[in-house]
């Protein structure tokens, strides 16, 4: 018997690898121990770049056909596997297109009338060029010092290049993620910041000290120091210091929630205790809201060893009060600003169940709206570059923050404006685990 052409076996192998990447995006895996990090990267990059994965698999398939990979049975098996992978990726891509309806339902459920109409048209050229962030008419002013800790106390400003002709610009204050141990201000939320800056916003992204050199609450203190600098100097760059929305993803979502919930708390403002650190809204993406895992959602996948060794430098049993204070779920209160909480159903690093508990706790006490949206199939960090998930999220965040801005301007002018909250949603309205 003549052995199959080597190209047939190689095509089968490549097809199985491609199918493995597809499976990582489609399946919802989390408790897989040390494989969680490679699984996350495979799932994240495959799901958010589904079109690109179909493209490279198509190019590979054409190349293997030219090499006579279909001259033996392994090649035909590889072709079937490849087609199945394409179908699964296409279904995943179509499902991501439901994100617009998810956001609409969240707004309809949690807000009164007044939200801007949706823009559900996502230009394919944006999806095709996921890492093209710069927008014409937006300038970036990098590496402005705000504190005493060198490069970890620098911030960037994004603003309209020709100024804002409609008066002082509202401010978006962005906090990067990275597990409190890595990350840079210029690496995250670029699609959102460029988009809002093009619409007349002033966007500020700040570095902060990182663990293990830093111990919590050093991270929060730095972020608050950067916020104070922003409020004091915003007018010099065309911004309105009286209107700031704080946002961030992952560890940045955790810190953004704490900024919003601990406004003017002198414990986290050493040397600037009297400075104003209030914000007018908070939009945390896939944040970590409970260091103590009080609802037991993570079980064997607990973050406690990591936090104990690198971030908190103490154990939750010996210093429970510090761990409570570091958990946004324990800091909720009636005076919290409006929140728009966003999380993906397939997040393998920050569990969506913990976010549901945080949203429920905040809704029970807050006098302001708490909007919550779960994106179908979205992984951790889905908004770092252009994709269907991030496009719909950017549109939704724009609608939310510009509604807050409109209400703020109406309140300042003395004009009547409709309330943001339609009704207080029951906890049962949260998506089921």
Which residue is catalytic, options 104, 110, 222, 347?
Answer: 347
The tokens 């204050």 sit on which residue?
173
Which residue is catalytic, options 357, 380, 386, 389?
Answer: 380
Determine whether 143 is an active site residue: no
Closest C-alpha to 84, from 8, 15, 24, 27: 15
Cβ atoms 389, 375 nearer than 8 A: yes
Determine whether 380 is an active site residue: yes
User: What does 264-322 look like in DSSP terms, one character per residue?
Assistant: T-GGG-TT-TTS----SEEEEES----TT-TT--SGGG-SHHHIIIIIS-S-TTTSHHH
Rounded Cα distance between 49 and 45, Å, is: 6
Provide CB contacts within 8 A for 396, sequence distance 6+: 100, 103, 106, 107, 118, 340, 342, 373
The per-residue b/e assignment along 192-209, b for 16 or more CB within 10 angstroms, e otherwise, is: bbbbbbbbbbbbbbbbbb
Determine whether 387 is an active site residue: no
The helices-and-strands tally (H runs, E runs) of the chain is 13, 8
The tokens 């309330």 sit on which residue?
419
Rounded Cα distance between 237 and 294, Å, is: 43
Cβ atoms 356, 431 nearer than 8 A: yes
Q: What is the SS3 assignment for 219? A: helix
Provide CB contacts within 8 A for 42, sequence distance 6+: 20, 21, 24, 25
Which residue is catalytic, options 250, 327, 366, 390?
Answer: 250
Count CB-CB contacts under 10 A for residue 333.
11
Closest C-alpha to 324, from 361, 270, 351: 361
Radius of gyration of the chain (CA): 23
User: Which residues are annotated as catalytic?
Assistant: 250, 347, 380
């Amino acid at each position: 018997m003549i052995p199959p052409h080597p190209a047939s076996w190689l095509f089968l192998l490549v097809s199985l690898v491609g199918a493995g990447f597809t499976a990582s995006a489609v399946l919802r895996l989390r408790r897989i121990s040390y494989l969680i990090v490679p699984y996350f990267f495979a799932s994240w990059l495959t799901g958010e770049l589904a079109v690109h994965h179909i493209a490279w698999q198509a190019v590979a398939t054409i190349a293997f056909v030219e090499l006579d990979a279909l001259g033996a049975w392994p090649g035909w098996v590889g072709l079937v596997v490849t087609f199945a992978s394409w179908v699964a990726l296409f279904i995943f891509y179509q499902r991501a297109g439901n994100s617009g309806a998810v956001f609409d339902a969240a707004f309809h459920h949690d807000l009164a009338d007044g939200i801007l109409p949706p823009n559900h048209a996502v230009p394919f050229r944006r999806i095709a060029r996921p890492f093209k962030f710069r927008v014409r008419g937006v300038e970036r002013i990098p590496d402005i010092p705000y504190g005493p800790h060198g490069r970890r106390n620098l911030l960037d400003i994004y603003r309209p290049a020709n100024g804002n002709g409609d008066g002082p610009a509202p401010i978006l204050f962005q906090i990067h993620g990275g597990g409190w141990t890595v990350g840079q201000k210029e690496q995250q939320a670029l699609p959102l910041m460029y988009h809002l800056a093009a619409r007349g916003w002033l966007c500020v992204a700040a570095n902060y000290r990182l663990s293990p050199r830093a111990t919590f609450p050093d991270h929060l203190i730095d972020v608050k120091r950067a916020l104070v600098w922003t409020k004091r100097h915003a007018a010099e760059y065309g911004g309105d210091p009286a209107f700031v929305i704080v946002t961030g993803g992952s560890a940045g979502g955790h810190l953004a929630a704490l900024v919003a919930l601990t406004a003017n708390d002198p414990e986290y403002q050493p040397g600037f205790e009297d400075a104003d650190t209030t914000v007018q809204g908070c939009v945390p993406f896939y944040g970590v809201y409970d260091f103590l895992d009080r609802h037991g959602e993570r079980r064997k996948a607990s973050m406690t060893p990591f936090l104990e060794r690198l971030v908190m430098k103490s154990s939750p049993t010996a210093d429970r009060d510090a761990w409570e204070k570091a958990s946004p779920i324990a800091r909720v209160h009636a005076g919290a600003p409006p929140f728009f909480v966003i999380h993906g159903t397939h997040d393998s690093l920050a569990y969506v169940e913990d976010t549901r508990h945080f949203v429920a706790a905040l809704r029970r006490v807050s006098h302001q709206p708490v909007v919550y949206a779960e994106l179908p199939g979205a992984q951790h960090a889905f908004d770092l570059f252009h994709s269907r998930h991030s496009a719909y999220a950017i549109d939704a965040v724009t609608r939310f923050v510009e509604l807050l801005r409109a209400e703020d301007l109406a309140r300042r002018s003395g004009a009547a404006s409709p309330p943001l909250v339609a009704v207080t949603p029951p906890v049962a309205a949260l998506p089921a685990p």
